[in-house]
Every structure is written in structure tokens, then in C-alpha cells.
Structure 1
Amino acid sequence: MIATASLLMIASGAAHAVVNAVVKSGGDKMSSRALVDGSSALLVLPLAFVVPFPVAALPFLVASFAVHTVYLICLIKAFESADMSAVYPVMRGSAPVIAAAAAVLWLGDPITLAAALGTALVSLGTLAVAWWNRPSLRALGWALATGVTIAAYTVIDAKGVRAAPSALSYAVWVFILLGFGIGAMFAAWRGPRFLAEARGQWKPGLIAGALSLVTYGLALWAYRIGDVPRLAALRETSILFGIAIAFFFLKERINPGRALGAVLIAAGAGVLLML
């Protein structure tokens, strides 16, 4: 079960990096996010008729919706303010330590010295990636705020998926609430700009929406069967994939500091995978 949860989380991290690259490369970031979330909700909607509604997890669904709304606004602001390779490591690197502490205190999940070391290495590595190309204070603030909200929804959804009848049941209703709720909110916020973005970017949005189902669906499955502190850190291997995407597809420069950060992340992931 531990090995399965670890592999699920690494796969989740890879898909997550692709989704964020699609949002970053879009012309209007909020419209791109509305396309991604709306597409994921439409794709998962048929499953709502075959899986039970997670009544016991309803408070966590509501809390997750609220936190995800703040998270996405912070994410969009961060991407509007700086390169993906500068802010993405900050937001993802700050989250595991906060999530690990919250999981231990609230969920009662265990954390060993080795797990703490692996989590610390992953976080240090992701922060090192951004250190040599520090974003502006404004971008840094948005990135750190994003990290806090990532930690918050990680712990909330870990609790919620354990209260639900199954991981699939919770995942389906999370995507429906987030996709139709936040997607519609962002689309209405942008108005005509969303319609223009949708005409030109609906295909990437649809693909990213499908990948969103993969990335967070795998993460929720993993949280149901494994401990949050280790798994939350493993998901941040998405930074390795994010750096590669930023370099090869977004044509961003990768300096020695970012390479060093990638090495630290890989080392931390290796420690966590050996547990």
C-alpha cells in the first residue's frame, strides 16, 4: 500500500506540472483556469449518477471549495507576476512542511525522522530553485499565499476522502463543485475575455481538464491509503517536471541554482521512496 501510494503521488505530480504549464502559457490566466476547471467538471459529470454522494464528507467539500477558490486566485496572480520557474517552486516548496505539520496535529498521521528529512530536502530544493532568480516581492507574496492554501486544501481533502464512501466518490464531487462553481465564477469575472480565450484555447483547456482529473484524483486516492506528510512532499516532485517543461516548452532559462534545487528535490524524493 505504501509503494502504491508513492507511485500514485509521483504520477500526480507529473500531471500537475503539465496542467500548470497550460495555465501559465494561456493569454488570460483566469480564463485559462476557468476552461481547465470547467472541462474537468464536464468530463466527470456522468460519474455523479453512479457514485454515492459523500454525505459524511460534505463539510470538507464545502471547506475545500472555499480554500480552492482562494488558492486559484493566488495562483493566477503569481503566474501573472513572474516566470513559472520562479514562482512555482516557492508555492509548491512551502506547502509540504505546512501540510505535514497540520496532518500530524489534526489528522494524527505519523511522521518519522526519515520522513521529516525527506520533506525538508524537497522543500529546500524547491525553494532553492527560485532563490537564484527571486521573483518580485509582489510575486513572492502571491506564491507564498498559494503555498499556504495548498497545505490547507491538502489536509482538508485528506480528511474528507477518508470520511467518504470511496476515493472516487469524493473526487467526483470535488471536481463537480470546483469545476462548475469556480469555473463559472472565473468565466463570469472575465466576461468577453473568457469567450475570446475559449475560442482559441478550448483544446488545451480540455486536455488540461482531463489531466486535472488524473492529478488530483490520484492524489486523493493516495491520501486515502497513505500518510499525508510523506505523500504531500512526494507530490512536489512536480517541480522536476515543471522545470523541464519551463525549459523545453516555455523557453525559460534554467540556471545552476535551479539545477541544484532539482538535485535536492530528487534526493528528498529518494529518501521518501525508501520508507
Structure 2
Amino acid sequence: MSEWVLSLEGTDAGRMLAFGLAIMAAVLHAVFGALQKGSLDPWITRGSIDVSYSLMSIPIVLFLVPWPEPHLWPLLIGAMVIHFLYKLAQAMAYERGDYTVVYPIVRGMGPLITVIAVGFVFGENYNVVQWFGVICLSFAIFALAGVNLAQNKMDRATMWVALFYAVLTGFGVAAYTTWDAYGVRATVNPFTFIFWLFLLEGVLFPPISVLKYRAMAVKPAVSAMASRGIIGGLVAFASFGAIMFATRLDKVGEVAVLRETSVVFAALIGWLFLREKVGFLRAGLMVAIAGGAILVEFGG
């Protein structure tokens, strides 16, 4: 499998595969975000998911992928720290703000910062059309968050704290996207970095979840935590695994922008399955988001 993936690097087929993986990751990321902001406390949900995918990774790293090369360990440890800080900020944002407000802000920050960062790290260059696409997508996402916020009845003090953590989480998205892309490219077998990262970074957040669980007056059922954790773990494997593979095959910035179309898929899921109203303004903003992504991907 890894040999086949490596053979596609730098080819048109590899770029098209990266495009498909990024879109798949966008759909699954919308599902993953909804899972964490669902009926369970976000701290508990995140811990359950982390435990699940860390345990799922054990047989894979023991029997199916090579042991990490010596130079890969600092990259794995750095990724653990970045992912941990990102999860802290995300849980704080979800705890204080509504999903429809917090999620778009997080996803709007990500591509803007990532495209700038990968220019320094990987030397990626983008033309005027692509930059226009990045700005169009990001500001359309921010506008979507603004529309949702205008219709929201959040307390003003709580709102500003939630927005602060949402912006901080957006920086975390850019940080882990860039760092993980570097890690995936630093090893011969990309599966090594991906599954060892799943194993290692899944052990840092659960202790916080345990403390939160013990402090809860009304504790959620273990069965609910387990089911949410297993489903979330499988979605995380597919979503984050897909985006990391995509960054190995194509430009990191382009892949990051495509992933942020998850905002569109989140809205479509709400419209199709939850009977939520979209309206002309939201529909127009979703078209702008998709159009921005198309400009970035095909305007180069």
C-alpha cells in the first residue's frame, strides 16, 4: 500500500487522489465536529474518542507498520504537544459557544494561516487567483459564522470568550496541519507517522476527561461514551488519515483549503438530515466557500 502511494507522488494521478482524499476528509471532519459537540460534554467526548483510536492503533503499530526512524521521534513528540494544545482550545470553545458559531470560525482561520505557514516551511507559492480563492473561502466562512452569531442568543461575555478560543483553535489547526505534513514527508512509510501519532497523542487528553467526569454531578452512561468514542475513533482514522496522505501527495496549502469545505458539508448535513433552514444568504456563502476552494485547487 505504501509503495503504491509513494509511486503517485508528483504525478497527476497523485494530485487527483489528494483532491479526493481532501474532500472525503472535509465530509468526515464535519461529522467529527458534530460528534464532539453533540449531546455529551465535549471534554468527555474528546477523551472517549482519543482512548478509542489510541487502542485501535496498538495492533497496527506492533504488527503492520515499521518502527519510527530515530529522526521521527522528535516530530512525533512535537505533534503530540501541538494536538494536545489544539484539543484544549477546541474543548474550551465548544464548551462556551454554539457549534454553528465556533466551528466556522475555527475552519476559517485554518486555511489563511496554513497557506502562509507552508510558504515558509515547504516553499509553496500561490498566484493571485489562488490567493483570491483563499481569501474568498475564509471570509465567506467568517461571514457564515457572523450570520449564525447574529441569530444566536449567547451571553455577550461568554460569546467573546468562546470566539477567543475559536480563533486560538484555528491557529492550532494551521499548526498541526503544517507540522503533520512535515512529519508524513519525513519518513519513508507514511503509515508509520500516521499510526504512531494516533497511538501516542491519544494518551494525553483522556486524563483531563477523567477529572471532568469525576467532577460531574450527572455522569453520562459508560455505554454512551464508548459508542461515541468508537464511532469518533473510526471517523478520526479516516478523516485525519486521509488529510495526512493528501499532504504527502499534493501541496499542503491546497489540501488544507479543500478540507475547510467541511463547513459546507456540515450545513448540508443539517439541511438534509436535521431539517435545518439554510436560506438564500447561507446558500450564497456556501457557494462562495466552494468557489474559493475551486480557485485554489484549479487556479494554479
* TM-score (normalizing by structure 2): 0.84
Q: Which residue of 2 aligns with 1:53?
A: 67
What secondary structure, in the 3-state scheme, does the structure 2 residue paired with 1:25 have? coil
What secondary structure, in the 3-state scheme, does the structure 2 residue paired with 1:89 have? helix
Deviation at 1:188, TM superposition (A): 4.1
CA distance in 2, matches of 1:216, 1:152: 14
Of structures 1 and 2, the larger Rg is shown by 2
In structure 2, the CA distance between the partners of 1:131 and 1:257, relative to structure 1 (3 Å rule), is farther
Q: Which residue of 1 aligns with 2:148?
A: 133
Between stretches 211-220 and 250-259, larger displacement belongs to 250-259
Tell me whether 1:216 sits opposite 2:231 in the alignment: no
CA distance in 2, matches of 1:78, 1:251: 25
Q: Percent identity?
A: 30
What secondary structure, in the 3-state scheme, does the structure 1 residue paired with 2:66 have? coil
Deviation at 1:182, TM superposition (A): 2.2
CA distance in 2, matches of 1:204, 1:186: 14
The answer to whether the 8 Å contact 1:25/1:250 transfers is no
Q: Which residue of 2 aligns with 1:143?
A: 166
The answer to whether the 8 Å contact 1:48/1:172 transfers is yes
Deviation at 1:44, TM superposition (A): 2.1
Number of residues of Structure 1 aligned to a counterpart in Structure 2: 275
The answer to whether the 8 Å contact 2:130/2:297 transfers is no
CA distance in 2, matches of 1:249, 1:139: 27
Between stretches 263-272 and 16-25, larger displacement belongs to 263-272
In structure 2, the CA distance between the partners of 1:252 and 1:57, relative to structure 1 (3 Å rule), is farther
CA distance in 1, matches of 2:45, 2:274: 16
Q: Which residue of 2 aligns with 1:91?
A: 106
CA distance in 2, matches of 1:188, 1:248: 37
CA distance in 1, matches of 2:55, 2:88: 21
Show the 5 A alignment for 1:6-85.
6-49=19-62, 50-55=64-69, 56-85=71-100
Deviation at 1:138, TM superposition (A): 1.4
Tell me whether 1:259 sits opposite 2:274 in the alignment: no
In structure 2, the CA distance between the partners of 1:166 and 1:95, relative to structure 1 (3 Å rule), is same
Task: Please state which structure has a larger fraction of its residues in helix.
Answer: 1
The answer to whether the 8 Å contact 1:12/1:215 transfers is yes
Deviation at 1:189, TM superposition (A): 4.5
1:208-253 alpha-carbon deviations (Å, 9 max, x no partner):
1101000000011011111111111111011111223345566765
CA distance in 2, matches of 1:26, 1:72: 18
Equivalent residue letter for 2:91: I
In structure 2, the CA distance between the partners of 1:127 and 1:213, relative to structure 1 (3 Å rule), is same
Task: Choose which of 160, 180, 185 in structure 1 pairs with 2:203.
Answer: 180
Show the 5 A alignment for 1:102-113.
102-113=117-128
Between stretches 186-195 and 31-40, larger displacement belongs to 186-195
In structure 2, the CA distance between the partners of 1:251 and 1:72, relative to structure 1 (3 Å rule), is farther
CA distance in 2, matches of 1:148, 1:234: 17
What secondary structure, in the 3-state scheme, does the structure 2 residue paired with 1:132 have? helix
* TM-score (normalizing by structure 1): 0.92
Deviation at 1:255, TM superposition (A): 5.1
CA distance in 1, matches of 2:280, 2:85: 33
